[in-house]
């Protein structure tokens, strides 16, 4: 497959087009659902885990390169057509201001890219969920505080339906509908009945990861966390794990990273501890595996979850969560250079 990737890369690099129809034909040939690159992604699914680790990054780079090349050809063709069309008197005399991607989208895609390099694939689920996938399947007790009306948005006409409080519901759906090995990341929006302030909001974004297979250990989880932290925050980043509790993992832990502002020496941002908490994690509780139809005597797994707003705060030092949802263009303009 590596030879095919190199061959296509060289072929795409030499593409030429003089008309919009030619650009569209190239897009269909390489980037459509039945195109050459999609065919490689289909073959990628059948590779071993080691082969996926080796080739996954190259395959994603090929797709990005093809997309950029075809967009460049499209821009060149449009520019040439505009030059021959003369002056357009209907155009506004004021240059149009270019937009920018949202900081949460920037960080979300960066996290997804890191986990893709580890062989994780994206899984998604509904934001309006049922109680079983959100709570019962994940080992929440019937009287757990998360089920209370003051913490969760339930649908009034059906108390068994609610706005999901975490993307762990996607994990339970994946375990019910798939056979191990399962290696997924679950990004999405979640909802909780919180008073809106600089530190909390009634909706926010999470990204969770799940890996279920034979002989998955806590060492696998720790190595994954270390790789993730160093790829996102820099190669000098250190991590530490503190015991914690979550209904769906046992043992459970909170993960801290060395403060990326002071390098772990201590500052006001890390409250002079040198450490900043970023996510929760743990080994999937056997009760969760059994509830989802996976034999906990044969399989084990780990799960981890983080708030994307929290990670964005650490990377860009945004102190008020409300800025992420107010669409103030002055705030969004600050992230143009982050593309």
Task: Calculate the alpha carbon distances from 21 to 44, 58, 64 in Å.
Answer: 30, 29, 21
313 found inside a domain: yes
Whether residues 183 and 235 fall in one domain: yes
Query: How confident is the model at residue 87, as a pLDDT?
Result: 64
Task: Say if CB 77 and CB 18 are below 8 A apart.
Answer: yes
Query: How confident is the model at residue 130, as a pLDDT?
Result: 92
pTM above 0.75, yes or no: no
The residue out of 49, 84, 119 marking a domain boundary is 84
The three-state DSSP-derived secondary structure of 37-57 is HHHHHHHHCCCCHHHHHHHHH
Whether residues 171 and 298 fall in one domain: yes
Whether residues 140 and 223 fall in one domain: yes
Whether residues 191 and 242 fall in one domain: yes
Res. 240: pLDDT tops 80:
yes
Whether residues 134 and 245 fall in one domain: yes
- The Cα–Cα gap between 57 and 262 comes to 32
Whether residues 55 and 108 fall in one domain: no
257 found inside a domain: yes
Cα 260 off chain centre by: 21
- The Cα–Cα gap between 87 and 24 comes to 26
Query: How confident is the model at residue 88, as a pLDDT?
Result: 67
Task: Say if CB 213 and CB 298 are below 8 A apart.
Answer: no
Q: Which of 162-171, 180-189, 322-331 has the lowest mean pLDDT?
A: 322-331
Mean pLDDT of 99-113: 89
Whether residues 110 and 149 fall in one domain: yes
Whether residues 74 and 177 fall in one domain: no
Res. 282: pLDDT tops 60:
yes
Whether residues 258 and 322 fall in one domain: yes
Name the region of 216 (left: φ>0; alpha: ψ -120 to 50; beta: rest).
beta
95 found inside a domain: no
Whether residues 119 and 260 fall in one domain: yes
Whether residues 142 and 271 fall in one domain: yes
Whether residues 26 and 62 fall in one domain: yes
171 found inside a domain: yes
Domain that holds residue 196: 103-338
Mean pLDDT, the chain, as a whole number?
86
Q: Give the model confidence (pLDDT) of 56-67 as tens digits.
A: 788 788 788 888
Res. 295: pLDDT tops 60:
yes
The pair phi, psi for residue 193, each rounded to 5°, is: -80, 75
91 found inside a domain: no
Res. 293: pLDDT tops 80:
yes
Q: What's the domain count of the chain?
A: 2
Task: Calculate the alpha carbon distances from 228 to 54, 271, 310 in Å.
Answer: 17, 24, 15
Query: How confident is the model at residue 230, as a pLDDT?
Result: 94
Task: Calculate the alpha carbon distances from 258 to 108, 245, 303 in Å.
Answer: 21, 22, 22
316 found inside a domain: yes
- CATH number of residue 146's parent domain: 3.30.930.10
**Dihedral of the CA atoms 269, 208, 194, 311 (nearest 10)?**
20
pLDDT band at 225 (very low <50, low <70, confident <90, very high): very high
Res. 150: pLDDT tops 70:
no
The residue out of 50, 84, 118 marking a domain boundary is 84
97 found inside a domain: no
Radius of gyration for the alpha carbons in the chain, expressed in angstroms and rounded: 23
| Placement of tokens 């969560």 in the chain | 321
Query: How confident is the model at residue 147, as a pLDDT?
Result: 65
């Amino acid at each position: 497959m590596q030879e095919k990737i190199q061959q296509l890369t060289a072929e795409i690099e030499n593409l030429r087009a003089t008309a919009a129809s030619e650009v569209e034909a190239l897009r269909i040939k390489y980037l459509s659902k039945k195109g050459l690159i999609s065919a490689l992604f289909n073959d990628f699914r059948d590779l071993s885990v080691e082969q996926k680790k080796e080739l996954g990054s190259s395959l994603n780079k090929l797709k990005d390169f093809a997309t950029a090349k075809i967009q460049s050809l499209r821009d060149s063709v449009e520019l040439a057509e505009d030059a021959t069309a003369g002056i357009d008197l209907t155009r506004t005399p004021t240059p149009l201001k270019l937009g920018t991607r949202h900081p949460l989208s920037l960080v979300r895609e960066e996290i997804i890219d890191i986990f893709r390099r580890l062989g994780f694939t994206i899984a998604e689920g509904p934001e309006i969920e049922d109680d079983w996938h959100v709570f019962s399947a994940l080992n929440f007790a019937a009287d757990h505080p998360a089920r209370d009306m003051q913490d969760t948005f339930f649908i009034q006409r059906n108390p068994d339906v609610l706005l999901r409080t975490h993307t762990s519901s996607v994990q339970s759906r994946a375990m019910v509908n798939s056979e191990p090995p399962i290696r997924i990341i679950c990004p999405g929006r979640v909802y909780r009945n919180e008073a809106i302030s600089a530190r909390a909001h009634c909706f926010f974004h999470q990204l969770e990861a799940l890996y279920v297979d034979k002989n998955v250990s806590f060492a696998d989880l720790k190595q994954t966390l270390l790789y993730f932290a160093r790829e996102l925050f820099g190669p000098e980043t250190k991590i530490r794990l503190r015991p914690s509790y979550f209904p769906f993992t046992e043992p459970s832990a909170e993960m801290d990273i060395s403060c990326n502002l002071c390098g772990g020496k201590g500052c006001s941002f890390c409250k002079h501890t040198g450490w900043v908490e970023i996510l929760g994690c743990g080994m999937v509780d056997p009760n969760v595996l059994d509830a989802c139809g996976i034999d906990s005597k044969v399989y084990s797994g780990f799960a981890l979850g983080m708030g994307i707003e929290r990670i964005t705060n650490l990377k860009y030092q945004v102190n008020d969560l409300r800025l992420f949802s107010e669409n103030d263009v002055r705030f969004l303009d600050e992230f143009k250079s982050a593309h």
